[in-house]
């Protein structure tokens, strides 16, 4: 399980020029739903990744409907690239009307990394950044060029202001591990027990970067080690749990305080 806490895509506290929701188009006077938030930004302002993820698009947006507006130079980031296709929550962010890109499709980015410069491309009434948040119950198939191929709906395109600064626990983030990878980690764990006035479970396990190398993954610059779930259900027999309802936990020499021996799984920041 990973965590996402979206930040604003601009460094300064940006002024909203057009909020999420129904709005009146200046050009036609038509009332239409705006599936994102527009922030005032001079051409050439740094635009930053709202969270870590994988860039799945950095290309000009050409809508299928010629009457629909274009988002111009558009970057889309998948913040849950490891999530199962049809079974888990998928979070994406979109950055539209850019003047240039600093990333390409397939790049991994950290939270706050530059993804491009703001601009006035596509259907635009002036320099600004269009920022959208998509929260879907299954993986979406985005067009990597031309049309996005995803029809905006309020069930998936959410109000960005309600997501910025909020921590979301979700499967499939870049720092999340698969079940197979977690199985390998537990195979590498060694345990011992120290008796005395404070009975202590001693756990020895690989450090974060060492573990990544062992499973064939490379850490990227600035990557924050995730919390992990350590399973204890096979470590304590019923007789042991009866005699020692709680023990201290020490991982790689670091004390994590008292744990209940009857608890099967603990989520700990052992690499933090």
Do 152 and 251 belong together in one domain? no
Q: Are residues 152 and 198 in the same domain?
A: no
Q: SS3 for 77?
A: strand
Query: Which domain covers residue 84, as residue numbers?
Result: 2-170
115 lies in the same domain as 211: no
| Distances 196 to 38, 64, 200, 228, 248 between C-alpha atoms, Å | 62, 71, 8, 28, 11
Same domain, 26 and 119: yes
Q: Calculate the CA 239 to chain-centre distance.
A: 42
List all residues 6 or more positions away from 67 whose beta carbon is below 8 Å from its beta carbon.
none
Q: Is residue 100 domain-shared with residue 216, that is, in the same domain?
A: no
Question: Domain boundary at 170, 187, 212, which?
Answer: 170
Claim to verify: residue 94 and residue 184 sit in the same structural domain: no
- Give the C-alpha separation, 158 to 166, whole Å: 13
Is 143 found in the same domain as 52? yes
244 and 147 in one domain?
Answer: no
pLDDT at 1: 65
**What's the domain count of the chain?**
2
Average confidence (pLDDT) over 1-12:
89
Q: Supply the pLDDT for residue 79.
A: 95
166 and 183 housed in the same domain:
no
Select from 143, 170, 197 the last residue of a domain: 170
pLDDT digit string (tens) for 50-75?
999 999 999 999 998 877 889 999 99
Looking at 108, 139, 170, the residue that finishes a domain is: 170
Whole-model pTM: value is 0.76
The string of pLDDT tens digits covering residues 205-237 is 999 889 988 888 776 655 667 778 787 767 788
Q: Do 13 and 140 fall into the same domain?
A: yes
């Amino acid at each position: 399980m990973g965590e996402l806490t979206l930040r604003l895509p601009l460094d300064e506290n940006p002024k909203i020029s057009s909020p999420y929701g129904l709005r009146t188009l200046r050009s036609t006077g038509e009332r239409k739903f705006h599936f994102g938030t527009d922030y005032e930004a001079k051409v050439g302002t740094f635009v930053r990744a709202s969270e870590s993820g994988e860039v799945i698009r950095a290309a000009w947006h050409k809508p299928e409907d010629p009457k629909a507006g274009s988002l111009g130079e558009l970057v889309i980031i998948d913040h849950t690239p490891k999530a199962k296709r049809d079974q888990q929550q998928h979070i994406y962010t979109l950055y539209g009307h850019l003047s240039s890109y600093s990333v390409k499709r397939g790049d991994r980015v950290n939270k706050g990394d530059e993804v491009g410069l703001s601009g006035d491309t596509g259907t635009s009434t002036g320099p600004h950044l269009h920022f959208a948040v998509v929260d879907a119950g299954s993986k979406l198939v985005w067009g990597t060029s031309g049309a996005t191929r995803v029809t905006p709906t309020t069930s998936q395109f959410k109000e960005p202001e309600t997501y910025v600064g909020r921590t979301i626990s979700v499967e499939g983030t870049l720092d999340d591990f698969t079940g197979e990878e977690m199985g390998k980690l537990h195979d590498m764990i060694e345990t011992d027990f120290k008796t005395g006035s404070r009975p202590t479970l001693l756990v020895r396990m690989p450090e974060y970067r060492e573990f990544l190398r062992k499973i064939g993954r490379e850490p990227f610059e600035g990557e924050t080690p995730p919390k992990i779930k350590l399973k204890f259900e096979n470590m304590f027999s019923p007789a042991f749990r009866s005699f020692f309802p709680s023990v201290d936990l020490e991982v790689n020499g670091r004390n994590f305080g008292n744990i209940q021996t009857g608890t099967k799984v603990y989520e700990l920041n052992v690499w933090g």
